Amino acid sequence: MLNIVLFGPPGAGKGTQANFLIEKFNLIHLSTGDLLRSQIAAETELGLVAKGYIDKGFLVPDSIVIEMIKSKLQGNSDGNGYIFDGFPRTVAQAQALDELLNDNETPVSGMFCLLVEKEELINRLLTRGKTSGRPDDQDVSVIENRIKIYHEKTAPLRDYYAAQNKYYKINGTGSVEEIAQRLCNTVSTL
Ligand code: B4P
């Protein structure tokens, strides 16, 4: 089993690169951002709560996100493994993921962190905001809040995975294909 955590600040290319890795390594894609947006689109109770956080650039509470991932893992036992895209984003989420995967004796294989400069992140997200309709991609102050929260709450996970020898840095600047090649080369060494 290959369980990959795709990591990086907002706009680093997690969702973009996940598409390459899924195909190359035959993995099941679990994006908490996509799962939350589908709840928002369906106007569920969970979606309404999540929208209040996402539109302002805050993280959705751990309890909601962990429960969502738990139910997805229970429903998908086949396949070569998972690609976790945008999850975990806090230490509590990383601990919960370890517990869930250890129950099935299939731990995280590696955490791959896409490194991109702040100015480039903001440009990418504002560009996407012109066509995506995502409110969180249309306002610079919301984007800056997302990046700030990434540094406060999410970036510390680098130490969490480094302590387990599972942290891999990937240069996230360049063409989508070049970055995909770097990622695939590194994942293939596992
Ligand atoms: P996500 O959906 O995870 O959104 P994201 O951080 O913006 O990254 P995404 O994967 O979508 O974008 P990508 O970098 O691929 O989260 C959205 C919100 O949901 C969060 O802010 C939070 O509120 C909530 N949430 C999600 N997960 C959560 C969790 N676990 N806990 C709590 N809250 C959670 O791409 C960005 C743009 O860059 C795209 O337009 C792409 O085309 C472009 N791009 C990509 N690679 C490029 C390249 N090499 N060159 C130029 N452009 C590139």
Give the per-residue pLDDT at 105: 78
| Ligand 1: residue whose CA is nearest its atom 39 | 128
Within 6 A (CB) of ligand 1 lie 10-16, 32-33, 36, 53-54, 59-60, 65, 86-87, 89, 93, 124-125, 128, 136, 146, 176, 179
Q: What is the CA(124)–ligand 1 centre distance, in A?
A: 10
E strands along the chain, which residues? 4-7, 28-31, 82-85, 110-115, 167-171
For the chain, what is the largest distance between any 2 Cα atoms, rounded to a whole number of angstroms?
43
Confidence of residue 74 (pLDDT cuts 50, 70, 90): confident
pLDDT above 70 for 76: no
Give the per-residue pLDDT at 21: 93
Whole-angstrom Cα distance, residue 91 to residue 24? 29
Has this prediction a pTM greater than 0.85? yes
Place of tokens 């690609």: 83
Whole-angstrom Cα distance, residue 107 to residue 105? 6
Q: Is 72 exposed, middle or buried (0-12, 13-18, 19+ CB in 10 A)?
A: middle
Phi, psi of 66 (to 5 degrees): -65, -45
Distances (CA, A) of 181 to 114, 159, 176: 13, 25, 9
Confidence of residue 77 (pLDDT cuts 50, 70, 90): low
Place of tokens 């993995």: 27
**Closest atom, ligand 1, to C-alpha of 10:** 6
Choose one of 36, 146, 150 to mutate for the ligand 1 pocket test, by most ligand atoms within 8 angstroms of C-beta.
Answer: 36
CB 12 within 8 A of CB 120: no
Across 128-151, average pLDDT: 95
pLDDT above 90 for 42: yes
Across 162-180, average pLDDT: 97
Encoding tokens for residue 15?
């969702």
Q: What is the CA(7)–ligand 1 centre distance, in A?
A: 10
How confident is the model over 13-35, as pLDDT tens digits? 999 999 999 999 999 999 999 99
Whole-angstrom Cα distance, residue 154 to residue 104? 25
Q: What is the CA(131)–ligand 1 centre distance, in A?
A: 14
Q: Up-side HSE of residue 47: CA atoms within 13 Å toward CB?
A: 10
